[in-house]
Amino acid sequence: VLVVGSEHALGALEAAWQLLAEGADALDAVVAATRLVEDDLAVHSVGTGGYPNLTGTVELDASVMEGTNRRAGAVAALSGFTHPVSVAREVMERLPHLLLVGDGAACFATEIGAERGELLTAEAEAHWRDGVARARASAGDGLLDQARALTADPSGSGGTVDVLALDGRGHIASAVSTSGWAFKWPGRVGDSPLPGAGNYCDDRYGAAGCTGFGELAIRAGTARAVVDALARGATPQRAGIEALEDVWRLVSPGAGAVMDVVVLDRHGRHCGLSTERGRHYVWRDAGVGGPVLAERVVVGRAGGQLRCPPSAGGGTLPGA
């Protein structure tokens, strides 16, 4: 029994852990934790309080996946509803579909009575107004020019919450929720709601969740690549290294990749990895008194040196 998450899950991890310790299903635990982060106004990249898109609307992406039979549900570009992760779960439970977007997702959310709310906080709106004013001044009034100015740096993509859990029956589930890249183009869909890209889960092997530059995770199929490596017998660390090295192959020399993964295998081994230094992930099991904030393994460009924090075995690993 174990729960692992991206850094934004820190404040919600204990709740997921308590549920698992009381015998809850992995899916209930990951959804409960994700909902808490969606309500946290201090997290500007998930749920209420998330930064809006280019035109000032908060559009949310979320997905859930169950490892038992790889069922999944997802919503993308959903506005006006406070818990996209729960809407994603209901898509999985109530429809023969997997992913609903925009107005269609909102129509479904209305139909099931999902909780509505104002997602744009005063703080997030001020951030958006500042950004747009700066972009207007430097790039002009054209929306495309502003978009280029505001989304030039993928490290400003924001963050996401990933929660992966292994329950007492050996089932694994994963949930991912995000407001996506701040100033994204309206209707832009990232990796978070796409099984295989930002979220993947299979009881036979394990689970993975991504944060960072979603377009890269979509192109590389990062979460699925991690689980495929677990299936071939790789450790979570090795699986994450291989997947992030593959992400680096998509990035032109001199540019940053900004991609993070959290990995949990069916034996309860876990690892967090990032293309950047100084990133963290969180985990909780019966062996510790509370959530642990752990440093992520840093993965450089393929062929480069891979630096490992002491918590992940220490030292420097040979390049690929």
Asked if 47 interacts with ligand ASP (CB under 6 A), we say: no
Residues 261-280 that bind ligand ASP (CB under 6 A): none
- Binding residue (CB under 6 A) for ligand ASP from 212, 240, 272, 300: 212
Q: Are strands 161-166 and 306-307 parallel, antiparallel or unpaired?
A: unpaired
Tell me, by CB under 6 A, how many residues bind ligand ASP: 15
- For residue 177, what are the CA distances in angstroms to 16, 61, 74, 194, 244? 15, 6, 10, 11, 21
| Block residue for tokens 């985990």 | 283
- Binding residue (CB under 6 A) for ligand ASP from 177, 178, 222, 275: 178
Q: In the complex with ligand ASP, which residue's Cβ is closer, 158 or 291?
A: 158
List Cβ neighbours of 204 (8 Å cut-off, separation of 6 or more).
Answer: 67, 231, 266
Distance CA 147, CA 152 (A): 8
Of 121, 151, 160, 222, the active-site residue reads 160
- Binding residue (CB under 6 A) for ligand ASP from 34, 79, 192, 222: 192
Asked if 48 interacts with ligand ASP (CB under 6 A), we say: no
Residues 59-118 that bind ligand ASP (CB under 6 A): none
Distance CA 297, CA 284 (A): 18
Asked if 158 interacts with ligand ASP (CB under 6 A), we say: yes
Asked if 159 interacts with ligand ASP (CB under 6 A), we say: yes
160 noted as active-site residue: yes
- For residue 263, what are the CA distances in angstroms to 47, 77, 111, 209, 282? 23, 26, 35, 7, 11
> In whole angstroms, how close is the CB of 317 to ligand ASP at the nearest point?
25
Q: Which stretch binds ligand ASP (CB under 6 A): 15-23, 75-83, 207-215, 275-283?
A: 207-215
Residues 278-297 that bind ligand ASP (CB under 6 A): none
What φ, ψ does residue 304 adopt, rounded to 5°?
Answer: -85, -175
3-state secondary structure of 204: coil
Number of residue whose CB is nearest ligand ASP: 214
Which of 300, 317, 158 minimizes the C-alpha distance to 308? 317
Asked if 52 interacts with ligand ASP (CB under 6 A), we say: no
Q: How many CA atoms lie within 13 A of 254 on its CB side?
A: 0
Asked if 49 interacts with ligand ASP (CB under 6 A), we say: no
3-state secondary structure of 313: coil
Asked if 180 interacts with ligand ASP (CB under 6 A), we say: yes
> In whole angstroms, how close is the CB of 190 to ligand ASP at the nearest point?
3
Residues with a catalytic annotation lie at 160
Contact residues: ligand ASP, CB under 6 A: 45, 157-160, 178, 180-181, 190-192, 198, 211-212, 214
